[in-house]
Structure 1
Amino acid sequence: MFSVLENQVGSRLLFPGDERYEEKKKVWNTAVDKKPAAIVVCEKEEDVIVAVQFAKENQLSISIRGGGHHVAGFAVWEGGLMIDLSQMRQVTVDESRQVALVEGGATLGDIDLETQKYGLALPTGTVSETGVAGLALNGGIGYLRGKYGLTCDNIVGARIVTADGLAIDVNDQSYPDLFWAIRGGGGNFGVVTKFEFALHKVGPEVFALDVMYDFKDAKEIFQKAQAFLAQAPDEAVSINLTVTVLPPAPFLPEFLHFKKVVMLLGVFAGDAQKGEAVLQPLRELAEPIIDHSGVTPFAAYQKKLDQMVPDHVRVYGTSLYFDQLTDETIEQILNKVDNAPAPSILVQLWALGGKMNQVPFTATPFAIRDAKFVLLVDCMAMAGDDDVCKQWIDSVYGGLLPFSYKKASYLNGIAENEEATKNAFQENYDRLVEIKGKYDPENLFQHNHNIKPLK
């Protein structure tokens, strides 16, 4: 069956048993281990076009690999055709227009490396090895969200291979309905081979918050941080509160090994000297264990969390939004942390506000525009711990759902969940169903937080 496709892409078509196949089918979350029938390692847009056409003609399921970093492992699917974009990573900056042209396989680190040469940045996420495509298509919450919005808010154009196997340019003038849909509606509408992103003046050095407190002070820290955020300027509201158990890593002093801590991380998106003064209260919420806050290269700080999110681990994760952190909500979250079944947990509360919450909720599919926090919880399973870790993650979601904002989740941080998908899009869901029916009526692109077309 695959001979036709092999004639078109040659050795870039990989099959089970091939050493390169085994490497390419690996995703960040090794709890997901699926075996596609074949993998097309794309080097150019034409490879994507022939792969989509072949899959459609042969009724093969398609999965799309950008960075392969989603907790659900959507990049790989059993018995389907994986379209691998990981070789398509070129980033080109047009300094005069302050835009970047970014191929669909690029990582956040690829973008920072190029854009920071010009003192420019794209609001992205917080782990540099993440693929920008999946991140941007589902939102994109990072350290610049308060000042410059979400990654999806900064998409000004895209090149998309549709379910018909056609490559089209999409922007606010060309296919405006599809342009609306890709800014938060996920990978439901085609394969994005190239993005055009708006860039902003940031760096190359910024004032970065990097302070660590003892977990025993967590409740007080959460309360005081929330009070600070209520009056903070847009440049200072993109703060991440992270609870974790520190690993016995050589880069940490021995007294911190296996210690449960609260970390506050964030970037002041403006003048570094002003940022130090504005963020100072967050360095005095309790007695710090360590305070490494200071002026630092923006691109380096973007990699700060990489070592806490190692590649190829077994991960179970979930997410919910909150409109405020009541005492009861805080106690529920901290109780879940206290009862975690494994030492390797990452519980993050990202403060939301500023620019990302000033966009009308119908302007893009990303509908949660007035929540104050998003919770992201990951549990890394050791050998034999999968069931108990999954049960704990399910209990976090179920236990906190009644306290959440509109029962909605951030789709870049939750496994496949049909209810969560609908809740994330709120009133925008019906419009997405309509656009899905127009551009992908057969649901060729279904390995994502899927929007099913009406039959």
Structure 2
Amino acid sequence: MASDPIATAFSIDVRSLVDLQALCPELQIITVSAGERYDALCKSSNPTVKARPFAIITPTHEAQLATVVRYCSSATPPIPLTIRSGGHDIHGRHVLEGVALLDVSKLNNIRLSADSKAVTIGAGVKGASLLRALDLFSLTTGTGWCHDVGMVGWACGGGYGVASGPWGLGADNVVGARLITPSGIPVDTDNDPELLWAVRGAGLGNFGVISELRLRVRPRPRQLAGMITFPLQDAKTILGEGLYRMSTDGTLPPNYTGEFMIATTPEAPIMIFLWSWIADPELDADGEEESIKRGWQFLQNFKSLGTVLADTVEETTMRKFQESLKPYMTTSAYAHMNSSAISQLSPEVVDILMKNSPPLGSPSAIVCHHSHGQTEKRNGPKYRSYPVRGEHYILGVTGMWNEGSTQAFVGEQVHWANTVHEAISKTTALLESRYWSFARPEHCNSLSFFEEEGVAKLGALKRRYNPSNAFPAAFPVL
């Protein structure tokens, strides 16, 4: 009789997983021996990530997930797992050498609650899929700017996005979760309020694998959204005399969410705003029509701060706006990112940004996430574990290059990203806590991010639910 090809492959690549395949014959386990199929599944969104897990395991339902987690955790020695949903970690921490990659992308169920106030999503659901599903019921929820970001990783790691101003961060909109612990036993945050607190900002593998997440949903609002482009030379008036002034005097409307990117054309550096205004009944006592009028007026005031090179703002929906951003959010460029958090766009910071634009003609960029409005209302340490409090800005300084770039060009991009990061790190606006999902691994220190009390509380929960540290790339590292 011919030998079993799967068993033969495992005897060469990952002998330890043969019994797992026997337990779950339908479970997809791909190893290096699968060649191009393995390479395609192993591919990272950032091509600089070269690590190759010894296996990629893809469960399709929760029972399979529980079996995988229990099997790997109880093996002798234990088989460490990393977790991938959308795969958007620019530093590739979900792909480690010699570790089994648990790909949860097939856990993509979406279930609306009976009262239409919450939606339960599987671990693999992405923003675009969720918005399309909710659109059928004239509902929506906050998502990231990028259409294919995994919702669980986005929300449980913080979650800056299209509706941060009026609705808060992704973590603020998590109302519950179901996790598979290393024992294979599911736990629900409804039975442990402290676990819910932890999931809202530190739930990426520390206490188990999230199989389902419950998010708040809302009736689909009227919304103005689009992209506005200015020359970078206008940054002083737009950021300094505009956003900085409105932030400090309290006149920045909570309906507004605006995040910007500093990039270059072949001729000059530019600043691109992703601009959104949401009419929301919790914020607008005078109704949505008046809110939309105020939004148009705020847009005109905003545009008057600089010379508008392009403006695509229109009345739209969350789904349509996110879909319109697809061409700008899809890239296969190599990247070296540094990240900082700052309390304000102070004159000192604006000056650094203006003097250190990306090298002309390169794909490098500075991305800025802005947190204000309702984010501040739900930022108490008792509500969520996510550590960055109050109004703040997350700067992602990313040196980028394409395949085939010369070493000199690559070196220029990396040097630029490091130089800008160092300059920002010396400003008085710098915050110690940062966005773990953006920060380089060598810059991630749990004590500085979560402080001693937060680390102690998170550590106690981890010892209760995941004492074997079954997921070595969990965020944060405790």
In 2, Cα distance between the equivalents of 1:315 and 1:71?
Answer: 7
Gap regions ≥5 residues in structure 1: 247-256
In 2, Cα distance between the equivalents of 1:306 and 1:149?
Answer: 23
Q: Is the 2:340–2:395 Cα contact (8 Å) retained in structure 1?
A: yes
Q: Is the 1:120–1:200 Cα contact (8 Å) retained in structure 2?
A: yes
Does the C-alpha gap of structure 1 residues 268 and 396 become closer, same or farther in structure 2, counting only changes over 3 Å? same
CA shift digits 1:411-442 (9 cap, x unpaired): 22222135444333235222112212222222
Shift of 1:302: 1.7
Aligned twin of 2:32: 16
Aligned twin of 1:296: 316
Aligned twin of 1:211: 228
Q: Is the 1:351–1:373 Cα contact (8 Å) retained in structure 2?
A: yes
In 1, Cα distance between the equivalents of 2:48 and 2:344?
Answer: 33
Say whether 1:227 aligns with 2:245: yes
Secondary structure of the corresponding residue to residue 318 of structure 1: strand
Structure 1 residue ranges, 4+ long, deviating more than 6 angstroms after superposition = none
Aligned twin of 1:400: 424
Name the Cα RMSD after superposition.
2.1
Letter of the aligned partner of 2:28 in structure 1? R
Q: TM-score, normalised by structure 2?
A: 0.86
How many equivalent pairs are there? 437
In 1, Cα distance between the equivalents of 2:20 and 2:303?
Answer: 58
Q: Is the 1:220–1:285 Cα contact (8 Å) retained in structure 2?
A: yes
Q: Who wins on radius of gyration, i.e. which is larger?
A: 2
Gap regions ≥5 residues in structure 2: 1-15, 280-287
Q: In the alignment, which of 272, 275, 294 is matched to residue 263 of structure 1?
A: 272
Secondary structure of the corresponding residue to residue 412 of structure 1: coil
In 1, Cα distance between the equivalents of 2:79 and 2:419?
Answer: 35
Say whether 1:200 aligns with 2:218: yes
Does the C-alpha gap of structure 1 residues 407 and 178 become closer, same or farther in structure 2, counting only changes over 3 Å? same
Q: In the alignment, which of 319, 332, 337 is matched to residue 352 of structure 2?
A: 332
CA shift digits 1:337-390 (9 cap, x unpaired): 25x487112212233211111221332111212133221222222334555434
Aligned twin of 1:412: 437
- Show the 5 A alignment for 1:312-323: 312-323=332-343
Say whether 1:126 aligns with 2:152: no
Does the C-alpha gap of structure 1 residues 447 and 285 become closer, same or farther in structure 2, counting only changes over 3 Å? same
Shift of 1:259: 4.3
Q: In the alignment, which of 56, 59, 66 is matched to residue 42 of structure 1?
A: 59
In 2, Cα distance between the equivalents of 1:318 and 1:269?
Answer: 31
Does the C-alpha gap of structure 1 residues 155 and 276 become closer, same or farther in structure 2, counting only changes over 3 Å? same
Aligned twin of 1:177: 194
In 2, Cα distance between the equivalents of 1:347 and 1:107?
Answer: 24
Secondary structure of the corresponding residue to residue 447 of structure 1: coil
Aligned twin of 2:397: 377
Q: Is the 2:122–2:212 Cα contact (8 Å) retained in structure 1?
A: yes
Q: Is the 1:101–1:196 Cα contact (8 Å) retained in structure 2?
A: yes
Does the C-alpha gap of structure 1 residues 342 and 48 become closer, same or farther in structure 2, counting only changes over 3 Å? farther
Letter of the aligned partner of 1:351 in structure 2? H
In 2, Cα distance between the equivalents of 1:389 and 1:57?
Answer: 45
Say whether 1:444 aligns with 2:470: yes
Q: Is the 1:436–1:451 Cα contact (8 Å) retained in structure 2?
A: no
Secondary structure of the corresponding residue to residue 356 of structure 2: helix
Secondary structure of the corresponding residue to residue 303 of structure 1: helix
Letter of the aligned partner of 2:140 in structure 1? A
Shift of 1:53: 1.7
Q: Once the two structures are aligned, what percentage of the paired residues are identical?
A: 21
Q: TM-score, normalised by structure 1?
A: 0.90
Shift of 1:103: 0.5
- Show the 5 A alignment for 1:92-171: 92-94=111-113, 96-171=115-190
CA shift digits 1:47-90 (9 cap, x unpaired): 21121122212322211011001112122111111111111222
Does the C-alpha gap of structure 1 residues 362 and 391 become closer, same or farther in structure 2, counting only changes over 3 Å? farther
In 1, Cα distance between the equivalents of 2:60 and 2:410?
Answer: 36
Q: Is the 1:401–1:407 Cα contact (8 Å) retained in structure 2?
A: no
Aligned twin of 2:385: 365
Say whether 1:61 aligns with 2:80: yes
In 2, Cα distance between the equivalents of 1:294 and 1:22?
Answer: 41
